[in-house]
Structure 1
């Protein structure tokens, strides 16, 4: 049994929450605010058309890159197929001479993309909107 205080002991019974705001089955959280009307409102502020990334470059060794939690490794990328695969006769043969490159990336999603941000942190056995933390078992 843990001696850690329960969430309500830390935050109080009147702590702000969005749980239930969009119904008991909601899995989007505040992304519900980003509807078509809000996208159009944001697009009105475009002035230059310049494109830029908001991501952290992954796999860098020369400075800021993957944020690493203690005990985690950085992203690992591996070529699976490239032109050398056809040179060595190890690649599938397709009509018309189609060749392609294929690779994989191994990374800790919670340290980079955050596409599952509402589903990987919990307190007192509850995820976002009151979902049971046991739903994370087995991926």
Structure 2
């Protein structure tokens, strides 16, 4: 498998400086700052990027679980809410809430949720993050 890359550049001090972040092939790039991370300023932040990585990885893992169950999912959409909290150890990603909804003809809500839970357990990004952060999942079958 290929090695994936990303880069970030920061200029200035922590509170007044700014930076840019870019994925290796340039598919995602953006600006970030103290305000975009710790306040409500313009730009992205590491926690949003973790959320995007987790949501996209989970959606692909869920699609695989559906296929393995013999179901062709019409679509899956996942949001990740990354909780960035102050702890005794300092600022920490403490929890990620995944919320997914999708269409999967032939499945009922119970089957859909069970496959989503399996996808959460097998998603490589979930496996990476779960030792340090609690990961919850809400799955809803769209009609």
Q: Report the structure number with the largest CA radius of gyration.
A: 1
**The structure with more strand, counted as a fraction of residues:** 2
Q: What TM-score do you get using the length of structure 1 for normalisation?
A: 0.22
Greater RCO structure (CA 8 Å; 6+ sep): 1
Higher helix proportion:
2
